[in-house]
């Protein structure tokens, strides 16, 4: 695959090649380190204006692969771009926290809209963000230059995304966390420009012809390693939501509590805000995106199923066990290293992993493993500047002419879904 690195909105002047992809780059953005382990790179193409900085950040890539430098000779064409505002949309509390710092950096030229329910508006208010709630569409959306979301696959997000694309506006989807990149759900495939949190997210994504960026995740950029208490405590993340594997919840919890009892370890259950199970008989705390980090800091190890909390725990220096006895499958490769992240599929594997972690006192070894792991999965997040880079990319994306069109069939399918919801008097 031909891999292009660009910085300018003039990318549209570059003829597209088959089997190629395009990544935005800015000085110090080291999130592409190791990209050759994900993509089959045939040649690297670098915009002239970033050659010096790119060489400093990725000298090993230029030593390993053939590369060419390209430039834009025609400086015309930017007069058509206006200074219209950016439109941010968040449908729940998680997306509000994801976009919070990005929005603040661009607040003077942006407006935030939220969906009623799922804590979006209350979270925005708690963070001091001005917002307007909607149910179905953005008022006068043609007045905005660009749409920014943290989810482009939900029904309302699809509608908003297509509203913008249909009138010749681009959209940006910032990866909210670890995602199941199956093709059926089309996650991050509806938007014009996906922004990935790490190179591992590219493994299950068709990048041919895509213009995107690998940067990081603002949700995690303020998280810092904290010392683990000598009092070992297991945090159990219960997140069986939306009817998926909910019948496995009881056995899953019982297996973990049995392992904790065998090893004489204390525990606390953290219940996801959208997990509806009755866990009142256990040691329980109900958490959300704004409170879960404080709970994590009181623990020494996290046990969870598929969850973004895996990364949040590692950012705080807490090793993780992904416990999956029910055999859930996802198109995301967590790359367990049996140092900071363990993967267990039955009670014995769970017990062995928990026993190893409960005895481990080598914080420096875990810290080194976490650093190597997060560089692949969270890019520049832990350096604390992911939101600033995303903001810079948004400014470039807003100036690129429309890169995507909607097929009549897909638009018709979406219209039917929206109409059905409205006839049933349900929220989109």
Q: Which 3 state secondary structure label does DSSP give 266?
A: strand
Q: What's the rounded Cα separation, in Å, for the pair 30 and 214? A: 9
Q: Which CATH number fits domain 84-221+384-423: 3.30.420.40, 3.40.50.2000, 3.30.930.10, 3.40.190.10?
A: 3.40.50.2000
Q: What's the rounded Cα separation, in Å, for the pair 341 and 335? A: 8
Task: Quote the pLDDT of residue 77.
Answer: 44
User: Quick one: fold of 233-378?
Assistant: Rossmann fold (3.40.50)
Task: Answer left, alpha or beta for residue 210, where phi above 0 means left and psi between -120 and 50 means alpha.
Answer: beta
Task: Quote the pLDDT of residue 79.
Answer: 47
Task: Quote the pLDDT of residue 361.
Answer: 64
The DSSP 8-state label assigned to residue 22 in this structure reads E
Task: Answer left, alpha or beta for residue 315, where phi above 0 means left and psi between -120 and 50 means alpha.
Answer: alpha
2-15: b (≥16 Cβ within 10 Å) or e? bbbbbbbbbbeebe
Task: Quote the pLDDT of residue 358.
Answer: 87
Q: Which two tokens stand for residue 420?
A: 């059905």
Q: Which two tokens stand for residue 47?
A: 């915009």
Q: What's the rounded Cα separation, in Å, for the pair 119 and 109? A: 25
For each of the chain's 428 residues, which pLDDT tens digit applies?
A: 999 999 999 877 666 678 999 999 999 999 999 999 999 999 999 999 999 999 999 999 999 999 999 997 655 444 455 567 999 999 999 999 999 999 999 999 999 999 988 889 999 999 999 999 998 899 999 999 999 999 999 999 999 999 999 999 999 999 999 999 999 999 999 999 999 999 999 999 999 999 999 999 999 999 998 888 778 899 999 999 888 899 999 999 999 999 999 999 999 999 988 889 999 999 998 888 778 889 999 999 999 999 999 999 999 999 999 999 999 999 999 999 999 999 999 999 999 999 999 886 677 888 899 999 999 999 999 999 999 999 999 999 999 999 888 877 877 888 888 888 877 777 77
Task: Quote the pLDDT of residue 80.
Answer: 53
Q: Which long-range contacts (CB under 8 A, 24 or more apart) does 1-4 make?
A: 1/39, 1/40, 1/41, 1/42, 1/207, 1/208, 2/42, 2/43, 2/44, 2/45, 3/35, 3/39, 3/41, 3/43, 3/44, 3/45, 4/44, 4/45, 4/46, 4/47, 4/70
In sequence order, which residues have a C-beta less than 8 Å from that of residue 416 and are 6 or more positions away? Answer: none
Q: Which 3 state secondary structure label does DSSP give 248?
A: helix
């Amino acid at each position: 695959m031909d891999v292009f690195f660009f910085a300018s909105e003039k990318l549209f002047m570059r003829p597209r090649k088959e089997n190629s992809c395009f990544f935005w780059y800015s000085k110090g953005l080291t999130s592409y380190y190791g990209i050759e382990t994900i993509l089959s790179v045939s040649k690297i193409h670098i915009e002239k204006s970033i050659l010096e900085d790119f060489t400093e950040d990725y000298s090993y890539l230029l030593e390993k692969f053939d590369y060419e430098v390209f430039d834009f000779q025609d400086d015309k064409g930017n007069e058509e771009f206006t200074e219209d505002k950016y439109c941010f949309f968040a449908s729940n509390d998680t997306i509000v926290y994801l976009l919070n710092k990005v929005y603040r950096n661009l607040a003077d030229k942006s407006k935030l809209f939220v969906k009623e329910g799922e804590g979006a508006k209350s979270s925005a208010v708690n963070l001091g963000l001005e917002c307007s709630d909607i149910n179905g569409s953005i008022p006068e959306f043609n007045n905005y230059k660009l749409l920014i979301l943290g989810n482009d696959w939900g029904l309302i997000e699809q509608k908003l995304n297509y509203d913008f694309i249909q009138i010749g506006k681009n959209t940006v989807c910032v990866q909210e966390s670890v995602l199941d990149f199956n093709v059926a759900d089309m996650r991050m495939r509806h938007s014009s420009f996906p922004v990935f949190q790490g190179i591992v997210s590219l493994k299950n994504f068709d990048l041919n012809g895509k213009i995107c960026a690998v940067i990081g995740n603002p949700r995690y950029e303020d998280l810092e390693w904290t010392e683990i208490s000598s009092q070992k405590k297991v945090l159990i993340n219960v997140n069986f939501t939306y009817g998926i594997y909910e019948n496995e919840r009881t056995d899953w919890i019982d297996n973990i509590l049995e392992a904790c009892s065998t090893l004489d370890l204390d525990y606390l259950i953290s219940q996801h805000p959208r997990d509806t199970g009755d866990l009142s008989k256990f040691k329980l705390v109900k958490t959300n995106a704004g409170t879960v980090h404080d709970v994590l800091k009181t623990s020494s190890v996290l046990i969870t199923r598929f969850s973004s909390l895996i990364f949040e725990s590692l950012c705080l220096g807490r090793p993780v066990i992904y416990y999956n006895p029910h055999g859930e499958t996802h198109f995301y490769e967590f790359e367990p290293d049996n140092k900071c992240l363990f993967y267990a599929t039955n009670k014995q594997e769970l017990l062995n992993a928990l026993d190893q972690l409960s005895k481990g006192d080598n914080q420096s070894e875990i810290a080194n493993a976490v650093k190597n792991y997060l560089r692949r999965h969270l890019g520049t997040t832990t350096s604390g500047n992911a939101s600033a880079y995303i903001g810079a990319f948004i400014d470039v994306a807003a100036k690129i002419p429309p890169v995507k069109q909607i097929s009549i069939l897909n638009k018709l399918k979406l219209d039917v879904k929206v109409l059905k919801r409205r006839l049933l008097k349900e929220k989109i």
